[in-house]
């Protein structure tokens, strides 16, 4: 078993410990911090219901964090779930409402010691931290409902049909308390505007007066942003790029799925969520990548021990190691903090920007491909499965944006002149 990390949920005895198995697989356990021992039933659920059906490690870790929310709720309310279920005493309506409200709380990072010294109760501290998004609460209650239903049936495996029906009703009542989950495929434009892009490129330009980074890391950080923008790839795909994936003779980059790779020592391994594929590189981008490898990366201590493209520059025990997800977010956060125009900038918005630019390019062609063909091309470049519907979402967004602009243009050129301001004298 390789190195692990531990997540402590604010002032609670429960947490999630994640680690890397010798096989390279990332896994995690729900543990009791008071004893540092794994909890039997939560981990049995994670193993039998998620790991055994080959769910991704990120999915299992998210479910484990959701179970910590439930354990925390039970601990605060003095509820012994196993004892209650063995007595066929299932959760009451008011307890389910309380669970729903508890699942809305945003968890802070305060330690148990700091919380103990606070003049506020834990309940007050949690409430002051705010609430989570609907999507997060939906995820929490979904996991909790599945676990509670599974646990009750596991403990009462020989119970009659009537008891099983009561368990099913309890599980459905928890699911019924989930908030409406806003669809991922909404038509809101999530890309950066051209004005924001202009600002971004000036901020990351080496030697720019607005560049917030030291000269030592400016080329690396700029190249990370450029690869995201020009190729429209995801964060995990960016951090998984190896030098061997770049064919400089053909100006090509291969995006490769490498789940649970043994020689990737990052416990929170960046994952390639989409299909493997080969992407073309412009001469300019290929040249920048080659210069970075030949002139910058090779000078970093320990970087020659692996061939991941982007590595940590900061002196210390991690120097030369593949840059982590946390390190990537730090780069993005610093860029975002430089200028108000970039306050909402994220790396993933560059993927949305790529899709907007793709739509504009298709629209500008004299004889653009059919909508179906455009979806196929987009899916191929973005790594989506044909027919998944994801590509059509971007086509729909572009069409709706064009319709919006056309409607606005009609209003402005309709010949009807509206008063700029209406006063009481009018």
- 222 CB neighbour count, 10 Å cutoff: 21
Strands (E) in 133-177, as ranges, are none
pLDDT value for 127:
54
CB 63 within 8 A of CB 143: yes
Query: Looking at residue 323, what is its pLDDT?
Result: 95
> What CA–CA distance (Å, rounded) separates 359 from 166?
52
Per-residue pLDDT reduced to its tens digit, 237-259: 999 999 999 999 999 999 998 87
Give the residue carrying structure tokens 């995201």. 228
- pLDDT at position 317: 93
| Segments making up each domain of the chain, as ranges | 4-176, 185-416
Residue with tokens 């409200």: 101
Beta bridge partners, 30, equal 16
Residue 209 is predicted with a pLDDT of 94
Q: CA gyration radius for the chain?
A: 26
The tokens for 214 are 């030291």
Q: 117 and 127 in contact (C-beta within 8 Å)?
A: no
Q: Which of 365, 387, 357, 383 is nearest to 375 (CA)?
A: 387
DSSP state for residue 193 in the 8-state scheme: P
pLDDT of residue 11: 46
Task: State the DSSP H helix or E strand holding residue 382, giving kind and residue range, or none if neither.
Answer: helix 371-382
For 206-226, the pLDDT digits (tens) are 999 999 999 999 999 999 999
Q: Contact 106/79 with Cβ under 8 angstroms? A: no
Neighbours of 423 (CB within 10 A): 6
Among the listed residues 132, 9, 388, 368, the one whose alpha carbon sits nearest the alpha carbon of residue 17: 9
Options 3.40.120.10, 3.30.70.2520, 1.10.443.10, 1.10.10.10; which CATH number does 185-416 get? 1.10.443.10
Encoding tokens for residue 358? 């793709």
- pLDDT on residue 9: 39
**pLDDT, position 406:** 73
Quote the pTM value.
0.68
pLDDT < 50 regions, the chain: 3, 6-11, 114-115, 118-120, 185, 187, 426
Side by side, the strands of the sheet bearing 37-38 are 4-8, 14-20, 26-32, 37-38
Per-residue confidence (pLDDT) for residue 189, from 0 to 100: 64
């Amino acid at each position: 078993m390789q190195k692990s990390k531990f997540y402590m949920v604010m002032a609670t005895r429960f947490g999630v410990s994640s680690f890397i198995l010798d096989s390279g697989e990332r896994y995690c356990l729900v543990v009791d911090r008071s004893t540092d021992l794994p909890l039997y039933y939560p981990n049995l659920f994670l193993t039998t219901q998620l790991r055994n059906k080959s769910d991704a490690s990120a999915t299992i870790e998210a479910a484990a964090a959701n179970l910590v929310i439930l354990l925390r709720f039970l601990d605060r309310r003095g509820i012994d779930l196993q004892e209650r279920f063995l007595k066929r005493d299932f959760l009451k309506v008011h307890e389910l409402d309380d669970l729903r409200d508890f699942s809305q709380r945003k968890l802070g990072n305060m330690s148990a010691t700091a919380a103990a010294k606070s003049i506020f109760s834990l309940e007050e501290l949690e409430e002051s931290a705010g609430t989570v998004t609907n999507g997060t609460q939906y995820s929490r209650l979904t996991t909790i409902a599945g676990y509670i239903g599974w646990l009750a049936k596991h403990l009462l495996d020989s119970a009659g049909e009537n008891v099983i029906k009561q368990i099913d009703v309890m599980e459905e009542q928890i699911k019924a308390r989930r908030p409406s989950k806003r669809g991922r495929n909404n038509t809101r434009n999530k890309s950066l505007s051209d004005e924001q892009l202009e600002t971004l490129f000036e901020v990351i330009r080496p030697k720019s007066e607005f560049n917030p980074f030291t000269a030592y890391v400016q080329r690396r950080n700029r190249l990370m942003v450029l690869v995201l923008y020009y190729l429209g790839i995801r964060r995990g795909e960016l951090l998984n790029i190896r030098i061997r994936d770049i064919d400089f003779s053909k100006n090509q980059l291969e995006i490769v799925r490498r789940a649970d790779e043994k020689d990737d020592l990052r416990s929170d391994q960046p994952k390639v969520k989409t299909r493997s594929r080969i992407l073309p590189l412009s001469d300019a981008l290929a040249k920048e990548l080659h210069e970075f490898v030949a002139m910058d990366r090779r000078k970093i201590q320990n970087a020659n021990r692996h061939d991941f493209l982007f590595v940590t520059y900061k002196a210390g025990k991690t120097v030369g190691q593949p840059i982590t997800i946390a390190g990537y977010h730090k780069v993005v956060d610093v860029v975002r903090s430089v200028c108000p125009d970039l306050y909402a900038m994220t790396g993933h918005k560059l993927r949305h920007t790529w899709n907007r630019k793709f739509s504009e390019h298709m629209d500008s062609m004299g004889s653009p491909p059919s909508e179906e063909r455009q979806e196929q091309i987009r899916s191929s470049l973005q790594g989506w499965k044909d027919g998944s519907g994801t590509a059509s979402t971007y086509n729909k967004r572009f069409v709706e944006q064009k319709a919006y602009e056309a409607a606005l243009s009609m209003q402005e050129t309709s010949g009807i002149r509206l008063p700029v301001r209406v006063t009481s004298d009018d």
